[in-house]
Chain A
């Protein structure tokens, strides 16, 4: 009896396997879709769905269409693992996630264990926004690929720009008290010290994550320190409230930020009236001037009714297609091998490369400022009438940072 059941199951699986070839490629999207982070998570979901539609309209990957599975993780690492299991049950062999380095660390760990325990059912994890450097250093995994520039790469690019601005003399660091904020602060100290030893770090602040309602005490400290520039990795309400308090107190400094362009950020900057005093480091932005990117932005805005927050997501999906076609297979093991050292023309122009040593993608990085738009800059943000303006472009070669990753390869 038991043998019969096994035989029947095996036969069924084979039938299912044959049918599977015509089925869609399930692509698990794990990010917050409810609760506090939902606005960010939904933006990402719309982006990936748009990109999947774009690829599907051109015939999909190797003749199969991509289907994005939205999975809500409530920004909670444990919940993310449950959702990842759900995605695998639904047949997903590729998952993507971006919000929260703690989630990313848990997912990377989960995928690695899953792949060693279930050979033949490997899963790849594409990271599009979690920037903690440890994910491609001491905690690196063969099954994890990151398209966003990690926070040390961004700092490398930012300091390359700052070293040529003689007006910067006193820098104040203010960051959120968790691993990302701490890595921003440590990198800023190290890299500024190496490139511009004459710059004085007049303050180095860590504040609790998303708990401060009134930043005026911090602004008072910045003011007292006499800083001319502030470097911050703050995101969400921590950047909005910080800028608001600064504008209220009449603090005149330049803000070098990672995430001032996040959801709600542009609205807050416009409210404060800090015209071209807030800078952002990204791998691309709406007014970059590269025609294909501007065309993409226009079509994207027209369809999804939001600006493209994640140019890296475009690179991710297009490179996924390129790698699968290079390997001529959708087997995650082969796609992973094909992704290594894959060179790719990124959305905003210039060549990027997925480094084999740590699975970190390197690409040109832009520094832009937010304020009134020039005539050739068509895109504003969040209906404010203000937008991002190109300040400096840092080439891929100048963003290469060393890695300590010792990767276990299958």
Chain B
């Protein structure tokens, strides 16, 4: 039992940090610009595929640097030529633009790299078990992912809260005209913010690609859960997203580890009653419902506390 608890905690931590790596960019964009970017997971996918391609050409470490820059550049282009023109039509139009973009990017990636998973591997330098607990290995690469996530969290928080750049960016969101009058180019600030957010998704892609499967439906698989993380944590709150990632990572991992169902707790139902909704609910195990727990959390938190765990505003 202790073994399972320790290992589940570790796994939950690792999965949670991966979620944070992914959602940090999304939450930065939202907190700065108020745009819910549906294409964020697509930028993550682009990061993974660029990472794969560049790794093949120039090796993993240069790719880790270059691929996010490329994704960031694409993000800036999307902001400059897409979102900026749509901004005057309101947030719904902006959101729908990113929605269409997600569609297009998925198909483009499938067109370029096919629909089967590509052979994107962990770099040889990190391809060894870092340590062993209860005879379970922990690959060094996962520890590397953990370290990068925490590093990004600290850097982002410091830049936003402690530097002059961060202050200007925050001011530009709430008082764009005032910031403009002070001589800053608000348009360029937004473009940079969107670029940085996209680049963060790109980093997540390059790093998560070898650990998970790199294929053209990876964005669709992860998209919705990212929204759960940032909404649950509080829209636009970086510490909130950090906590929410951990909570969701841990809950999901522990739910998987539990075998219990109502039937195992209170004994099986009378079989003569035949199949009904009750028997379905009675026999379902906690592990089976684990992946829908986050959505349940999302709905509950929005009903109880619409601004999320650490958020300060509703929209």
Indicate yes or no for A touching B, C-beta below 8 A. yes
Q: Which residues of B contact A85 (CB under 8 A)?
A: none
B200-237 vs A, CB cutoff 8 Å, 1 = contact: the mask equals: 00000000000011011100111000000000000000
Q: Are B117 and A237 touching (Cβ within 8 A)? A: yes
**Given contacts A220-B11, A221-B256, A212 and B117 within 8 Å (CB-CB):** no
Q: How many angstroms from the CA of A38 to the CA of B114 in the assembled complex? A: 9
Instruction: Give the residue of B3, B11, B117, B216 whose beta carbon is less than 8 angstroms from that of A217.
Output: B11
With a cutoff of 8 Å between Cβ atoms, the chain A residues found around residue B129 in the complex are 250
Q: Contacts A206-B285, A241-B213 hold; do A39 and B116 have CB atoms under 8 A apart?
A: yes
* Per-residue contact bits, chain A 207-244, to B (CB 8 Å; 1 contact, 0 not): 11011111011101101100000000000010011001
Whether B314 is near chain A, meaning CB under 8 Å from some CB there, is: no
Bits for A246-270, please: 1 = Cβ < 8 Å to B, else 0: 0011110000000000011001100
Tell me whether A268 and B117 are in contact (CB under 8 A): yes
Partner-binding segment picked from B31-39, B61-69, B75-83, B131-139: B131-139
- State whether A224 touches B3 (Cβ < 8 A): yes
Q: Are the C-beta atoms of A264 and B116 separated by less than 8 Å? A: yes
Q: A217 to B132, alpha carbons, bound, how many Å?
A: 16
Name the interface size band of chain B. 35 or more
A205 at interface by CB-CB < 8 Å:
yes
B287 in contact with A237 (CB, 8 Å): no
- Chain B residues near A267 (CB-CB < 8 A): 116-117, 119
Bound complex: CA A267 to CA B290 (Å): 29
- Nearest-Cβ distance from residue A235 to partner chain B, whole angstroms: 13
A177 part of interface (Cβ distance < 8 Å) = yes
Q: Are A36 and B4 in contact (CB under 8 A)?
A: no
Contacts A36-B217, A211-B221, A248-B137 given; indicate if A216 touches B117 (C-beta within 8 A).
no
Please provide the 8 A-B residue pairs with the shortest distance between their CB atoms, ordered closest to farther: A250-B137, A217-B256, A39-B115, A264-B117, A220-B7, A217-B253, A36-B217, A216-B11
Q: Which A residues contact B (CB, under 8 angstroms)?
A: 36, 38-39, 177, 205-208, 210-214, 216-218, 220-221, 223-224, 237, 240-241, 244, 248-251, 263-264, 267-268, 271
Instruction: Known pairs A38-B115, A205-B287, A217-B253; list 12 more (Cβ under 8 Å).
Output: A36-B217, A36-B220, A39-B116, A207-B287, A212-B291, A213-B221, A216-B15, A217-B252, A223-B136, A248-B139, A248-B142, A249-B138
12 contacts between A and B (CB under 8 A): A36-B216, A39-B114, A216-B11, A216-B15, A217-B256, A220-B7, A220-B11, A221-B257, A223-B136, A224-B7, A241-B213, A248-B142
